[in-house]
Structure 1
Amino acid sequence: MGTPRLEINHEKIAHNCAFLTQVYAAKKISICAVTKGVCGNIMIAQTLVSTGVTMLADSKVSNLKKMREGGILATFLLIGTPMLSQARSIIKWADISNNSELVVIEELARHACIRGVTHKIILMVEMGDLREGIMPSRLDNMVKKVLKLKGIKLVGIGTNLACFGGIQPSKDKMELLSVIAECIEQKYHISLPYISGGNSANYGWFKSTHDIGKINHLRLGESILLGVDPVNRRPIPNLYTDVFNLVAEVTELKIKPSVPYGKKGQNAFGHILHFPDRGKISRAILGIGLQDVDVSGLKSNLDISILGVGSDHTIIDPQKTNLKIGDEVSFSLNYAALLSAMTSPYVEKINIVSYELEGIL
């Protein structure tokens, strides 16, 4: 197999998804699987659906289109803040979208009427993380206007935490969202099927609370794909954390000085770097760089250290690993590294599928 490559273990994805579905179902919370970290990969989407998940979420309309055209049978949720310019395509490819701007919702309504369909929306509420969301004091006025629109159906409210500001989901925040949902339902005599309390970062809140209130829906990406709690990146019990494996090849191995020599200026990325003087050391180059992956999010199980990175080279100290030219070095990835590797056209994606899944995929 060629390098660089990203090996994807579908059996482990299926296990993580099925396990989390069961865990959250114990408190009557349904999950949707978020595919944005894997760029709407059709085989991964099919693996997720094979576990019984009925809703897939992505931040890119193009990914929803790819999955729908790829024959994936699911309800598709657009979780990226909808762009006004994409209203027409959103109506075509998304069943539901998360929204926070009235002008965008009105444009969605216009295109929904043109197509003769009803588009469902979830209104996002700002709860402190300061990414997308309507301030709670302005939500009632928004609901009042949305309910008057033809072609639009309000099916829920939601919030997003632990993404931009790192604000954690908490008992108080989930209680407040539940109260807001209850007030909307009572005032307008409607039922909201989705009270979407957040994402993978809600795991700690979920495990510690005895009363989930009205929260009945979560959007899970990182915990399914990487098996960790995004709040602290600690492994979640009974989940695989090695679903993805990035493999790079050694292209050069030489003894060189540990400090660059000559008149110093900026490197290729505008940085002036400083290196400790360790004399002459063994230096290896891997055929992978920033065009391929966010190298800062890589971790090897070998005793090596990354000295620096270029657009298509990663320089490492191989220490006592006895690497040779052509040898392969494997890395685990954090979420940022996974996202970049899946996005890069230079990283080959290799699907590892068990016999049990072959008939499904």
Structure 2
Amino acid sequence: MLPQLPQELIDAIVEEVPEASLPACSLATTPFVMSSQRRLFRRMTLSLPAYECTAHLLAASPHLALYVRLLVLDVEGIPPDCEPLRTILAPLTELERLSVLGGKVGHEFELNPYLGDLLSIPSLKFLELDGLTVPSSLITRAFFSCEEVLLSNLRISDDGPSSLGNVWHISVSSDMYNNVLSFVLDTKRGGSLPRLRRLSLTLPVNHFLRPMRAALLVSCSPTLEHLKMHWSVFSLVPPMLPFLPLLKVLELWLDVTIIKSLPVLYSVISAVIASTPHLEVLTLSLMDTRPYDKLAAANRQQWPESQPSVWAKIDSAFADPHWLDLREVCFCLRAYGEEPKRFSGFIAFMQANLPRTCNAGMTRFSRVRP
């Protein structure tokens, strides 16, 4: 017979158990059941075939719903007023992160309106909506209810006046139907956005919406602290930043071919210097060429050794005290596929051309797969 262990110790032991072994661990001894179930049901990913059996499970053991913190729902193909889904959602009172995925067809959110009831859960912090048809009022509710909202590929139906005036965090990463950006950038809807502190627009903005993006940046400039945006430097009218007195973290997504146009890169950095006096972290995310794009691959960026005078200006821009608070410059290569030699060559190239910045211990390098 095993001695009775403190629950805290059992929890610590179970946290180290591989996920594949958790079902067996939950059957080992009674004290391990609760800890194992808590981990097993912390994250749930459900699609149509699993709804009915999950509903039966939670109806028989409702305490399991209290362990769910992250829920991913694939609602493509579900019928209107899906009763198993209603049974699953009702007891999820401790949910923190929710992703609702509708697929390419664009599931109509209002066909299962109780999905919107999840926005009333006080613990909900993150909401992702992708491939859905949603009313504008629901998006407004999401911005008010959650700390972070990720919107992708939505069809937005206007169901009356709505305001984003109290929103503090907006994030848009994909917009297949050209609805999300126009909704967010509509200054008539957003007003002055007096509380917006975080803004992420990591997709190209067409020339019709660029004036709206500029107006949005101006409207939130007094309060903005974190900004992530796609910077189309090769457009006829490249975007300019307004004065951002409180901005601390800035990430710019640039095409990797900007390395071939160093004066353009220097002008971007100069514009950032003029606009962000209290910047602490600057990230330049260079979007690499897709290796399967034969036309682009033939002209792929090879980190050429050239234009040392312009590189010296860029190095001075980072190393000299233009920014009183700057502590980190990060170069991120958003590369497709695993190419260690390309990434190591990228690091060596940057270190060779920015010696003062690197020697000051300010630089960091990372690689992200898009």
Query: Is this a same-fold pair by TM over 0.5?
Result: no
Normalised by the size of structure 2, how large is the TM-score?
0.32
Structure having the larger proportion of residues in strand: 1
Structure having the larger proportion of residues in helix: 2
Larger RCO, structures 1/2 (Cα 8 Å, 6+ apart)? 1
Higher-Rg member (1/2)? 2
